Structure 1
Amino acid sequence: MSNPSFFDEQKEQSLIKARIVEKYFWAWAKVIIGVIKGTKIKGRRVDERIAYIDLFAGPGRYKDGSESTPLKVLETALSEPDMQNMLVTVFNDVNTNNVNSLQQAINSLPNINNLKYQPQIINQEVGENIVRKFNDIKLIPTLFFVDPWGYKGLSLQLINSVVKDWGCDCIFFFNYNRINMGLNNAAVEEHLNALFGKVRADEVRKQLKQLQPEERELTIVEAICEALKEMGGEYVLPFGFKNDKGNRTSHHLIFVSKHVKGYEIMKDIMAKESSEQNQGVASFEYNPAVSSRLPLLFELYRPLDELEEMLLDEFAGRTMTMKDIYDLHHVGRRYISRNYKAALNNLEAQGKVIAEPPANKRRKQKGEITFADNVIVKFPSRQ
């Protein structure tokens, strides 16, 4: 389950993946630190530590000199005084050479000694022992990153052992290409059962026999998302990566949280990192060959129009604020807040909804009429 050439050169897909993790780490840490400080001000005792754990950390740098995720996270922490004093980091890799290389790369970071808690680097195989350790303790708020080359060591139990506690979120690498091939391979059945749960894995295996490639991907990704939700990870968000030719999905980055705030933050980050925007709606996918990808077919699909129709149907006869509409509707869909505001602006302009205050009494920003969270929307009844 390893690829010796993986760390030779950082591909664009790896750069996007690392950027998503780095951006979310920053936003997550700022939110958690704010909560901790607020609790302390109220006079309550609180553990003032936060953590970042990476169980498949790699060597720290690619052979071309590019930094991998552990170094980016540490540099982010070094740039912010609160993080310097509060962040605990744990980096693991089963490969001894990777561990030694990572240690050297971390030691070479400027001002690394400014961290109150120096990075812990361990050399263990990821399996049931680590799951038991996490299950047996109450974790401090932790961002958990799991990026195996294949899928060995990745399991529902591992993810749940971390996200079970407050403030703990998980981002993991879902190697769709290998998992798709492995689901019908008896030699790796145990690993895939651990990832999906045996009952669900067997059901997926049955479904795949009759499906086309695109349907296989939707079925497999839906299955892992449902498994995570059943486990208690209520908010799950996948981001797809196409291969270099742009004609096939290679892997997904999947986010899991028990709190809607983290879900909203990650959705905004993934939307901005998407390679395609259609009517302002992100694809939640990175495709290095996007410029040559069926432009006519892409234009025929109009997701904002679809959102407008959904809102008219689902909220018919109701009066509510833009924020209430967004909160009730966005989970499980790829629309972000600004998409809802654009859709409601369009519906108001077409006379299909009534907004209060109306458009002529709302301010303009960059030439467009704003639609604040507290604007009240009245939907007509459907006949």
Structure 2
Amino acid sequence: MAAPRTTVWQLDPHTKAKHDLLKFYLGGWFPVLSSYNGRIVFLDGFAGPGRYQSGEPGSPLIALETLLAHSYFSKMKCEFLFFFCEAKKDRFESLTQQIAGYKEAHQPWPENVKIQLINSEFSETATNLIEHLRSQKRRLAPTFAFVDPFGFSGLPMSVLAELLSFSSCELFVNYMVDHVNRFATAGNVDHHLVDLFGTTDYKQVGNVTPGQSRQQFLHDLYERQLTDVCKFPYVQSFAMINKTGHIGYYLFHGTRDVKGVELMKDAMWKVDAGGGFQFSDRLAGQDVLFTESAVDTDPLRRALLARYTGKRVSITALEQFTLIHTPYRKTHLRKPVLTPLEREGIIQVERPGRSGFPSGTWITFP
């Protein structure tokens, strides 16, 4: 489904941005989950060779380093189990060497950090893990599944749903919409596409009318399946836009906890994509670029005015709306949006203190 790769290759700018995002997110996820669980799992479904041509670390080493170098690691008493899955034999051998070298450089190796290297396809690994847990009558520990393929084969929606059915499990997946769009109506890889979506509805993309976006149709379908089949109440997607303004792929994050949404939002806004690539999302028909240096909060302002016209609403509800239904962070709400709205006399504010928007504040939108 994609161009062949050698054992190792150059690190692309968009891949570095994706890895930075993973690092920032795990930096928050590890301490949160380890504080109330005896074991947590990181599953890398397409782990790769471990390093790139110029020596940059791949996702397995990034995940390990994020944990071991964390300022709170000594206080994290739970067991960390890392599954690194790589199907290609040459890449698996390279990964094995890189992990061995990393462990040797970090002796004494912490007893609560376990690594399992698996030389098989992601779908096979996930299915075997599910069957093992069933035989043991056990449930999967809270898991963060990082699924980053080169194409779209080997990602069955049904397997993702079963593997991540536990309430604290999360998914971060690279959805190669460009490849999907190219093959959606070709008819020669339908078995892969049925697996990917868990439905044949993708074929309706051929009926998209002129002026509508095939990519948007395929994006919305995948998002709907993550919600309906995998039962993720919170699904966020982030477009990776190249220097020509073209969407190369979407990153989807699925979680069942609002805290996971908050952590991912914080990570997204920290990443400097660089290399001419940008992360973006859409709100009210307008692109929102994830760049802290020049945040355009006008779409958030318009969304709030449209959503809450004629209503009196708490600051807590506004935070939840901002976090769950827009691309923005909580920090983009108060000073960038609410303060100007109050100054302009557009909203009326009832606050328990003399200034700001503390807990207990109510806002009326005329």
In which range does the TM-score fall when normalised by the shorter chain?
A: 0.7 to 0.9
Q: After superposition, where does 1:1-383 map in structure 2 within 5 Å?
A: 1=1, 3-5=4-6, 7-36=8-37, 48-79=38-69, 80-83=73-76, 86-109=79-102, 110-111=105-106, 113-127=109-123, 130-131=126-127, 133-134=129-130, 136=134, 137-207=138-208, 210-211=209-210, 215-231=213-229, 232-243=231-242, 245-273=243-271, 304-328=297-321, 330-341=323-334, 342-357=336-351, 361-362=354-355, 370-380=356-366
Structure 1 window deviating more from structure 2 (145-154 vs 216-225): it is: 216-225
Structure 2 SS opposite 1:134: helix
> Does structure 1 conserve the Cα–Cα contact (< 8 Å) formed by 2:174 and 2:251?
yes
Label 1:211 to 1:229 Cα distance change in 2 as closer, same or farther (>3 A). farther
Q: Distance in 2 between matches of 1:72 and 1:129?
A: 21
How far apart are 1:84 and its partner, in Å?
Answer: 7.5
* Residues 18/84 of structure 1: CA separation in 2 closer, same or farther (3 Å cut): farther
Q: 3-state SS of the aligned residue for 1:149?
A: coil
Once the two structures are TM-superposed, the CA of residue 274 in structure 1 deviates from its matched residue by 6.1
Structure 1 residues 165 and 283 mapped into 2: Cα distance closer, same or farther (>3 Å)? same
Q: How far, CA to CA, are the matches of 2:192 and 2:210 in structure 1? A: 23
Q: Once the two structures are superposed, what CA deviation does each residue of 1:19-54 show, in whole Å capped at 9, x if it has no partner?
A: 111211121111112233xxxxxxxxxxx1111011
- Number of paired residues? 342
Distance 1:138 1:187, change over 3 A: same
| Corresponding residue SS for 1:314 | helix
- Secondary structure, in 3 states, of the residue corresponding to 2:188? helix
Q: Classify the secondary structure of the residue corresponding to 1:119.
A: strand
- C-alpha deviation, 1:184, in angstroms: 1.5
CA distance in structure 1 between the aligned counterparts of 2:62 and 2:115, rounded to whole angstroms: 13
| Rounded Cα–Cα distance in structure 2 between residues aligned with 1:237 and 1:277 | 12
Residues 85 and 115, structure 1, Cα contact 8 Å, conserved in 2: no
Aligned-partner residue type, residue 309 of structure 2: A
Aligned-pair identity (%): 25
Give 1:211 deviation, angstroms: 4.2
In structure 2, the partner of 1:292 is none
- Cα distance, 1:235 vs structure 2: 0.9
Aligned to 1:367: none
Cα–Cα, structure 1 residues 306 and 77, in superposed 2: closer, same or farther, change >3 Å? Answer: closer
Structure 1 unaligned residues grouped into runs of 5+: 37-47, 288-298, 363-369
2:349 and 2:279 map into 1 onto residues whose CA distance is: 27
Question: 1:77–1:83: 8 Å Cα contact kept in structure 2?
Answer: no
Question: Mean Cα displacement is larger for which, 129-138 or 118-127?
Answer: 129-138
Query: CA separation of 1:74/1:330 partners in 2, compared to 1, >3 Å: closer, same or farther?
Result: closer
Is contact 1:9–1:63 with CA below 8 Å preserved after alignment? yes
Flag the structure with more relative contact order, 1 or 2, with Cα contacts below 8 A and sequence separation at least 6: 2
TM-score, length-normalised on structure 1?
0.80
Structure 2 gap segments, 5+ residues each: none
Q: Distance in 1 between matches of 2:279 and 2:39?
A: 38
- Computed over aligned residues only, the root mean square deviation of the Cα atoms, in angstroms, reads 2.9
- What displacement does 1:313 show? 3.6
